[in-house]
Amino acid sequence: MPRIKELSEHYTRPDWVRRINAMGDSVGGAERLIPLDADQLIRTAVDSTGGLQDFGSFDGDWEKRFRSLVTEIEATGSLNAVGRLMTRQEMLRGLRTRLLLTQNRNEIPAIAEERIETPLVITGPPRSGTSILFELLALDPNARGPLGWEVLHPVPFGGASETARLAMSECEQEFWSDVQPEFAAIHELRSDLPVECVTLTLPGFSGGHWGMIANIPGWEADYLATMDYHRALLQTLQYGAPPRNWVLKTPLYLVFIDLLFATYPDAWVIHTHRDPLKTEPSSLSTLATVRWERSDEVELPEAGGAGLGDMMILLANRRAAGELPDRIVDSHFSELMADPAAAVEELYGQMNRTFLGEHADAIRSYIGEKPKGKFGRHKYSPEEWGFDPAELRERMLPYTDYYGVALED
């Protein structure tokens, strides 16, 4: 089982991060320097919003989930000082967002009546083109992606301007690459870019964000609550705005695609595909880097395992059997990289959606300004993450054969 400490040549720390982590060591443990206490965090969130008390019940028992999350992170997360600081901030911001969101919905009951119509939902394994496709679809004049700053601060406290909210959201976006510069080559986070649904649903204390940032095997995500919070936030963001379809994205929708369609029955799902020899080890490399940002003791029990591979095979079998809605279209990495505008036009044709000339122009301009390898290369190999290439290819044949996935060198 690969351990990050055995691969430390790939994960050197900036001096300022190493020194802050040493502050935790100097006082007998980072938990003494930066405590994570559920009661204290809740009190602080209430006080910071001028005494708001209602955290909302639109997604079930949030407090039970929150308390169990704090307990498990303390038990198994092994967070260093920087990791505890990042996690404490996210928890506090999530609690504040719930308070402000609930107040806003109570003051304007019509928000709860907003319909989320025909969202375009991107899902697929990491490194299969999900991120770039997400950004390209968000350029559609008739669509919108949830931007980082508006997701993190959907209801500005004290009338904070967009500029102020952009600045405040940097600590949950750009800061990741400050802590670990290699992360930028894996995934670009910016406050003005659309963000994945794992970020959108963070304040639900129920979704994929928390299991991604720390090894917490005793804590289980509640995806029903995740989607309830998801809908509530989108309703808030779109209230009073011109009608446009949402563009959404996360690999996790592969895991609960039935719930996705139950929440948004008219959604179009765009399933991205790439050679598993690229996507499976890359998924683990990404997960390791994310956890290394916050811990010096990262182990990956997932290494060499099924990952999302078994789920993709299951979905292929279900689609072949006609068990899933006929609202899933496929995007192949090789085609998207060869001609992004043409690939998006092909997808729109399959979804009976108008592809505008100005959208095509925006795609070409965007690609021209964002060349591949802008932040360097994400380096990884199958063997490094516990895979035998031949065995992995053999295991994934039901997936690659069904979809006709191009195999890469």
Q: Can you tell me which residue has the tokens 């917490």?
A: 216
Which of the given ranges, 30-39, 298-307, 365-374, 387-396, has the highest pLDDT on average?
30-39
- Let me know: does 291 contact 214? Beta carbons within 8 Å: yes
* Average pLDDT, integer, range 247-270: 96
Position 307 pLDDT exceeds 80: no
Q: What is the mean pLDDT of the chain?
A: 91
Q: What is the pLDDT of residue 251?
A: 92
Position 7 pLDDT exceeds 70: no
Q: What is the pLDDT of residue 1?
A: 43
Type of residue found at 16: W
Q: What is the pLDDT of residue 376?
A: 54
Distance (Å, rounded) from C-alpha 173 to C-alpha 248?
17
Position 4 pLDDT exceeds 80: no
Task: Tell me the domain boundaries of the chain.
Answer: 117-403
* Average pLDDT, integer, range 79-88: 97
- The alpha carbon of residue 154 and the mean position of all alpha carbons in its chain are separated, in whole angstroms, by 17
Residue 375, classified by CB atoms within 10 Å of its CB into exposed (0-12), middle (13-18) or buried (19+), is middle
216-231 pLDDT, tens per residue? 999 999 999 999 999 9
Q: Which of 233-247, 341-355, 361-375 is the least confident region?
A: 361-375
Closest CA to 278 of 377, 135, 183, 212: 377
Q: What is the pLDDT of residue 340?
A: 97
134-178 pLDDT, tens per residue? 999 999 999 999 999 999 999 988 888 999 999 999 999 889 999
Q: Categorize the per-residue pLDDT at 281 as very low, low, confident or very high, splitting at 50, 70 and 90.
A: confident
Position 302 pLDDT exceeds 80: no
Distance (Å, rounded) from C-alpha 189 to C-alpha 309?
26
- Let me know: does 245 contact 267? Beta carbons within 8 Å: no
Q: Residue 97 contacts by C-beta under 8 Å, 6 or more apart in sequence?
A: 152, 153, 154, 155, 203
- Let me know: does 235 contact 72? Beta carbons within 8 Å: no
* CATH topology classification for 117-403: Rossmann fold (3.40.50)
- Between β-strands 120-123 and 268-273, what pairing exists: parallel, antiparallel or unpaired? parallel
Q: What is the pLDDT of residue 306?
A: 55
Q: Which of 41-45, 129-133, 274-278, 384-388 is the least confident region?
A: 384-388
